[in-house]
Structure 1
Amino acid sequence: MKRPAMPNPDPAAFIKANLPISPVPSIPEILLHTAGPASGLWRLAGSREADPPPYWAYPWAGGAVLARHLLDRPEMLTGRRVLDLGAGSGLVAIAAAKAGAATVTAVDIDTNAIAAIELNAAINGVNIVAWAADIIEDQPPATDLLVVGDLFYDPALAFRVMAFLRRCQASGIEVLIGDPERGYLPQGELSRIATHAVADFGAGTGAKAVQAGVFSLSGDR
Structure 2
Amino acid sequence: MIAPTPDVRREFILANTRRQRPPHTPELELYLADEITPIWRLTEEALQEIGLPPPFWAFAWAGGQALARYVLDHPQIVAGQRVVDFASGSGIVGVAALKAGAADVLCADIDPFCGAALALNMAANGVACDFTDADLLESPPPAWAQVILAGDICYEKPLAERVMDWLGAARAAGATVLIGDPGRSYFPRQGLEKLAEYQVATTRELEDQEVKKTAVWTLPG
TM over 0.5: yes
Offset of 1:182 from its aligned partner? Answer: 0.9
Structure 1 counterpart SS, 2:20? strand
Q: Aligned partners of 2:189 and 2:59: how far apart in 1?
A: 25
SS of 1:196's partner is: strand
AA matched with 2:9: P
Q: Indicate if the aligned counterparts of 2:20 and 2:29 stay in contact, CA closer than 8 A.
A: yes
Aligned to 1:118: 119
| SS of corresponding position for 2:210 | strand
Q: Distance in 1 between matches of 2:203 and 2:105?
A: 25
Q: Which moved more, 1:188-197 or 1:198-207?
A: 198-207
Q: Deviations over 1:107-130 (max 9, x none)?
A: 001020221111100001011111
CA shift digits 1:63-122 (9 cap, x unpaired): 000000000111222110110000000000000000100001100010202211111000
1:75 partnered with 2:73:
no
- Report the more deviating stretch, 204-213 or 40-49: 204-213
Distance 1:34 1:138, change over 3 A: same
Task: Please tell me the residue identity of whatever aligns with 1:187.
Answer: R
Residue aligned with 1:197, SS:
strand
Amino acid at match of 1:189: G
Which has the larger share of strand?
1
Q: Secondary structure at the match of 1:165?
A: helix
The answer (yes or no) to whether the contact 2:36–2:206 under 8 Å persists in 1 is no
* Structure 1: segments with no counterpart, 5+ residues: none
1:26 aligns with 2:24: yes
Query: Identity, % of aligned pairs?
Result: 38
Structure 1 residues 126 and 207, CA gap change in structure 2 (3 angstroms): farther
Equivalent residues in 2 for 1:19-98, closer than 5 Å: 19-37=17-35, 40-41=38-39, 42-46=41-45, 47-49=48-50, 51-98=52-99
Larger-Rg structure: 1
1:24-50: per-residue Cα shift (whole Å, max 9, x none)?
112111011111239842223321236
CA contact (8 A) 1:90 1:117 kept: yes
Give 1:108's aligned amino acid.
Answer: D
Provide TM-score, normalisation by structure 1: 0.90
Equivalent-residue separation in structure 1 for 2:50 and 2:37 (angstroms): 18
Give the deviation of 1:207 after TM superposition. Answer: 7.4
8 A contact 2:204–2:210 mirrored in 1: no
User: What runs of 5+ residues in structure 2 fail to find an aligned partner?
Assistant: none
My pick for the range that moved more, 127-136 or 146-155, is 127-136
RMSD between aligned residues:
2.3
Match of residue 157 from structure 2: 155
The CA deviation at 1:137 is 2.7
SS of residue in 2 equivalent to 1:115: helix
Question: How far is 1:62 from its partner?
Answer: 0.6
Q: For residues 208 and 26 of structure 2, what CA distance do their matches in structure 1 show?
A: 17
Matched letter for residue 208 of structure 1: E
- 1:3-56 Cα offsets, whole Å, 9 max, x none, are xx9985811111112201011112111011111239842223321236442111
Listed as ranges, the matches of 1:194-209 within 5 Å are 194-201=196-203, 203=205, 208-209=210-211
TM-score (norm 2): 0.90
